[in-house]
Amino acid sequence: MPVVEIPVEKWNGQVHQVKLGGVGGRKELIVGGDNTLPFLKFEGTVPHRPAIAIEVLDYTPPNWAEPLVKAWGDVLKSPVAWAKKAAEYGANAIALRLRSAHPEEGNTGAEHAKRVVTDILGAVDLPVIVLGPEVAEKDNEVLVAASEAGRGQRLALGDCFDKNYRTIGATCLADGHVAIAKTPIDMNLAKQLNILLSDLGLTMDSILMDPTTGALGYGLEYTYSVMERLRITALMGDKMTAMPMICTVGEESWRQKESKASAGVPATWGDQEKRAIIWEKLTAMGLLNAGANIIVLRHPKTVEDVKVAINKLFA
Amino acid sequence: MPEITFQPGGKSVVVPEGTLLLDAAAKAGILIDTPCGAQGRCGRCVVRVESGEVSHRENPHLSPKQLQEGWVLACVARIKNDLVLGVPPRKEREKVVEERAGTKTAASVQCDWPRYPALRQVFLELPPPSLDDAFTDVDRLQRVLSKEHSIERLYIELPLLQRLAQTLRQSKWQVTLTLDMYDRGGEARLIDIQPGKTEGPLFAIAVDIGTTNVVMDLVDIRSGRTIERVSTRNKQISRGEDVISRIVYSEKGGLAELQRLVVEAINDLLKELSQKHNFDTKQVYQMVTASNTTMTHLFLGLPPRSIREEPYVPTASRFPVVTAAQVGVNINPLASIYCLPAVAAYVGGDITSGVLASCLFKTDKLTLFMDVGTNGEIVLGTSEWMTTCACSAGPAFEGAGVRNGMRATTGAIEEVRINSKTLEPTLEVIGGVLPRGICGSGMITALAEMLVTGVIDRSGRIKAPYVQEVMGESSRVRRGDHGAEYVLAWAAESDSGQDIVLTEVDINNLIRTKAAIYAGMAVMARNLGINLTDIEEVLIGGAFGQHIDIEEAIQIGLLPDLPWERFKFLGNTSLWGAYNVLLSKHARDKVEEIAGKMTYMELITDNSFMNELMAAMFLPHTDIDQFPTVKAALEKVGAAKTS
């Protein structure tokens, strides 16, 4: 029987490497550096496995789905305890969402943000990603405070939108952090924001991009397609699409009724907990295959299973 | 140290070698304007080296011939040894700039049509009838026409027939006939009959019915001259800014109103012309219109609904010749109105007219013709093949949808230079008066200058903190009703006594407009397997004023990054084509042929169009490698654009 060689694509480009943490005893997380499509080790080099960050909120989430509340229990009342627990569950990073700064969720300000960030940095030695409430003015307020609180710790700060990238980009530049550029599922918009941030002075190793996650059944295929195109363009040599990608899988997946509904749904939907975790896992695995470098998850069981899957894909 | 002498005047200064000419001039007390902030961008500081040497890096603002003649830019040239410099008055220096910018100025293109108008006037002396010669009045006319003008068949409509007997007898059988000649000249339709011999101009009008503006040329068919060009807003604009919203309005029972509104605009222009030149509009005997398919439908009162619905099929693309009375245009009621043929729902008679006027149909070169109006239409091809597409650009370059936008008439800012050090603008205003607003060409330069000087970022957002930092108290950037805005002219410097601004919303509209046009070009070229850089000639017609700055149009990514000499700016080609048709039936035959020959490419159904559009909605483009000269320019001024 003739031996068929596996066809190998030769790419010119490479995903930029971005480092989080790694300063003052904090663990280091490096993502990116691949010069091939996800998991294709036979084709090129994939120096760093995709990382898993666990999402921690800066207040007790008022309406999280029952399976999440059950899994985390009392730590949901304390961001610090929650982050410590997340570290135990094997997170590579903590993704702290400053949700309480949202005008409709408490409207906390810079002081609160500063305190929570300082506490978390003190409690865990993992790299920290700080995300704002996604309201432009409030993002500017709390992220600048978070940036100052974590000066020199190489946090990732997000999200920079096209409307407010200048404030957050500048604060990242000043305090030595990584900026997360978020754009609405469009390859050109993603590239444009990367260009704007680098025009601002941020180097290629200081930008992560969030192409906006669509959960399973809610635009996953759009996200997948845009991420795949971004990655292929980067591998073809375009440096402005070669930023590592971060996806907020947990948030999007647990937002959907398939994850939230416990009653009044068809019996064929089955057990809520099982269903919701599958939803999060499928979304995560899809996007890992599309080229995600960091995925932010919510449920410990998802974290465990996705880790196993990643390890198998790397075996 | 070298000694520098300035002429005229003979002032001299001694400065170290390597000093900029500009600095030496300042030391001698001679002020040379540098609207761009002494960056070698605007070319306004030209001086002439009469003797001596300077080091001068090449600059696109000077042609090889001008360099040969000793012209240099005072802001880039440095002193090498003793020099005598000529600093001519400002007017003369402007001329040097203009000469180099020759490609930017509207070039008139002549395709050398034989003069053979469809509209003719003939004077006849008829033998009076007698018992021996008892032919009817009509037969009598026909007999003489046939004998003297080889017109074998004359069509007479009832109103003229009713007054024929009286006119012939009162004029003692000496009359002037105004005729609309049919195809081969052997047949004609009578438009008017006047007693005696009519002299003076034989009026006809060419009309460009744009979605935003209506432009009219009053033409004397006898001399072939355009007497005057006038323009006004299309009154339909109060019922929607683009063709789609007009179509929607027509569907809600507004068709008759839209038809009336556009005719009113035409009649207003006729009135303006008749008062100015003292003639009766009933003496205008022919009208040719060039307009997009929707405008033609609305003008003729045809329901345009199907134009906006898949599969985008209009009622007609070739239109019957109608009489003025049928549509309500205030010229001679029997005058014929010919609407130039369209290609498809979104490529209309304005484009076939443009292809006719630009002589694209007989070139060997791979040529891109673009008409920038509310819809941007593009034609790519040679004499042998032509492909066309339309992109919905929006009316920004025509001055609509932009806060202080206006047409390119007196009082319009047509050029903006921003000093990269002070961020202060210098304005050129049409007619040299105080500005009233800004026209398309002004917007292009404003956008390019704001980008290059770092007033805006590549997404078109105003960098307020940076401008504040540079300008301090007197900052021209502020927060207005529609977000951030840049003040081009303060109230005290404007005609209206109000600030003239460019807002972020305006900038966004402009970027959308230019992106639609560029994306259309990119998609069409790719579908044909052509690289945009292979295009040998770019012919630009449309809404801009008398000139467009090619360099800056490239900087904002409206035009592809090609050598400047490949661009030719043709002005209003839609109107120019209609004018050709008035004067030559050969041109009319040709435009019918062109309409049948063009291949239409539908962008709406092209998957890659949206992607190209998003990519182009950036300055100059998301993929800057498509714009190598702009990339270089931006890198050069990189220092100015940090936040």
Give A36's pLDDT tier (boundaries 50, 70, 90): very high
Give yes or no for a contact between B105 and B568, defined as CB atoms under 8 angstroms apart.
no
Closest in A169, A188, A201 to B615, CB measured: A188
Q: For B558-573, what is each residue's pLDDT tens digit? A: 999 999 889 888 888 9
Task: Provide, as residue numbers in chain B, all residues whose Cβ is less than 8 Å from the Cβ of A192.
Answer: 458-459, 617-618, 622
Name the range with the highest mean pLDDT among A77-81, A211-215, A259-263, B610-614: A77-81
Task: Provide, as residue numbers in chain B, all residues whose Cβ is less than 8 Å from the Cβ of A172.
Answer: none
Q: Does B618 touch chain A (CB under 8 A)?
A: yes
- Looking at residue B638, its pLDDT comes to 67
Give A220's pLDDT tier (boundaries 50, 70, 90): very high
Give dist(CA B181, CA B188) in Å, integer. Answer: 4
The residues with which B207 forms a beta bridge, in sequence order, are: B216, B289
- The whole-angstrom distance between B615's CA and the closest CA on chain A is 5
What is the share, in percent, of chain B residues with pLDDT greater than 70? 94
Q: Does B641 touch chain A (CB under 8 A)?
A: yes
CB contact under 8 A, A201 and B642: yes
B353-396+511-633 to CATH, choices 1.10.20, 3.30.420, 2.30.30, 1.10.3470: 3.30.420
CA separation, residue B496 to residues B277, B432, B472, B492, B531 (Å): 30, 15, 26, 9, 47
Q: Delimit the domains of chain B by residue range.
A: 3-103, 119-195, 203-339, 353-396+511-633, 400-503
- Looking at residue B56, its pLDDT comes to 73
Q: Does B120 touch chain A (CB under 8 A)?
A: no
Give dist(CA B226, CA B231) in Å, integer. Answer: 14
Task: Provide, as residue numbers in chain B, all residues whose Cβ is less than 8 Å from the Cβ of A187.
Answer: 611, 614
Give dist(CA B381, CA B360) in Å, integer. Answer: 8
Q: Does B622 touch chain A (CB under 8 A)?
A: yes
Q: For B182-207, what is each residue's pLDDT tens digit? A: 877 789 999 999 999 998 899 999 99
- Looking at residue B223, its pLDDT comes to 92
Instruction: Compute the average pLDDT of residues A119-143.
Output: 96
Among the listed residues A195, A149, A201, the one whose alpha carbon sits nearest the alpha carbon of residue A170: A201
CB contact under 8 A, A192 and B458: yes
Give one DSSP letter per residue of A172-230, joined into a string: HHHHT-EEEEE-SS-HHHHHHHHHHHHHHT--GGGEEEE-----TTTTHHHHHHHHHHH
CB contact under 8 A, B458 and A162: no
Task: Provide, as residue numbers in chain A, all residues whose Cβ is less than 8 Å from the Cβ of B611.
Answer: 187-188
- The whole-angstrom distance between B639's CA and the closest CA on chain A is 10
Q: Does B11 touch chain A (CB under 8 A)?
A: no
CA separation, residue B487 to residues B402, B459, B460 (Å): 14, 19, 15
Q: Which tokens go with B184? A: 């081969």
CB contact under 8 A, B641 and A199: yes
Annotation: CATH topology of B203-339: Nucleotidyltransferase; domain 5 (3.30.420)
- pTM comes to 0.83
- The whole-angstrom distance between A26's CA and the closest CA on chain B is 31
Domain B3-103 superfamily per CATH: Beta-grasp domain (3.10.20.30)
Task: Provide, as residue numbers in chain B, all residues whose Cβ is less than 8 Å from the Cβ of A186.
Answer: 614
CA separation, residue B615 to residues A118, A251, B627 (Å): 40, 29, 13
Closest in A169, A187, A199 to B458, CB measured: A199
Q: Return the CATH number of the domain spanning residue range B119-195.
A: 3.10.20.880
Lowest-confidence pick of A104-108, B85-89, B270-274, B618-622: B85-89
Average of per-residue pLDDT values in chain B: 89
Give B643's pLDDT tier (boundaries 50, 70, 90): very low
Instruction: Compute the average pLDDT of residues A79-94.
Output: 98
Q: For B586-599, what is each residue's pLDDT tens digit? A: 999 999 999 999 99
Task: Provide, as residue numbers in chain B, all residues whose Cβ is less than 8 Å from the Cβ of A240.
Answer: 622
A18-314 to CATH, choices 3.40.1190.20, 2.10.109.10, 3.20.20.20, 3.40.50.300: 3.20.20.20
Task: Provide, as residue numbers in chain B, all residues whose Cβ is less than 8 Å from the Cβ of A195.
Answer: 458, 618, 622, 624
CB contact under 8 A, A192 and B643: no
Give one DSSP letter per residue of B12-57, joined into a string: EEE--TT-BHHHHHHHTT-----TT-SSSSS-TTEEEEEES-EE--
- Looking at residue B103, its pLDDT comes to 42
Give dist(CA B385, CA B531) in Å, integer. Answer: 17
Give yes or no for a contact between A32 and A244, defined as CB atoms under 8 angstroms apart.
yes
Give yes or no for a contact between A59 and A100, defined as CB atoms under 8 angstroms apart.
yes
Determine which of B459, B461, B505, B627 to mutate to test the interface with A (most A C-beta atoms within 10 Å).
B459
CB contact under 8 A, A188 and B459: no
Q: Does B463 touch chain A (CB under 8 A)?
A: yes
Give dist(CA B436, CA B405) in Å, integer. Answer: 9
Q: For B25-69, what is each residue's pLDDT tens digit? A: 888 887 777 777 777 777 778 888 888 888 876 676 777 777 778
In the DSSP assignment, the letter for residue B493 is G
- The whole-angstrom distance between B478's CA and the closest CA on chain A is 17
Lowest-confidence pick of A185-194, B27-36, B88-97, B569-578: B88-97
Residues ≥6 apart with Cβ < 8 Å to B158: none
Task: Provide, as residue numbers in chain B, all residues whose Cβ is less than 8 Å from the Cβ of A160.
Answer: none
CB contact under 8 A, B643 and A187: no
Q: Which tokens go with A117? A: 């960030």
Q: For B505-554, what is each residue's pLDDT tens digit? A: 999 999 999 999 999 999 999 999 999 999 999 998 875 645 678 889 99
Task: Provide, as residue numbers in chain B, all residues whose Cβ is less than 8 Å from the Cβ of A211.
Answer: none
By CB atoms closer than 10 A (0-12, 13-18, 19+), residue B479 is exposed
CB contact under 8 A, A166 and B614: no
The total number of residues shown for chain B amounts to 643
Task: Provide, as residue numbers in chain B, all residues whose Cβ is less than 8 Å from the Cβ of A201.
Answer: 642-643
Q: Does B512 touch chain A (CB under 8 A)?
A: no
Rounded to 5°, angle at Cα B250 from B245 and B254: 120
Give B102's pLDDT tier (boundaries 50, 70, 90): very low
Residues ≥6 apart with Cβ < 8 Å to B550: B103, B104, B559, B564, B567, B569
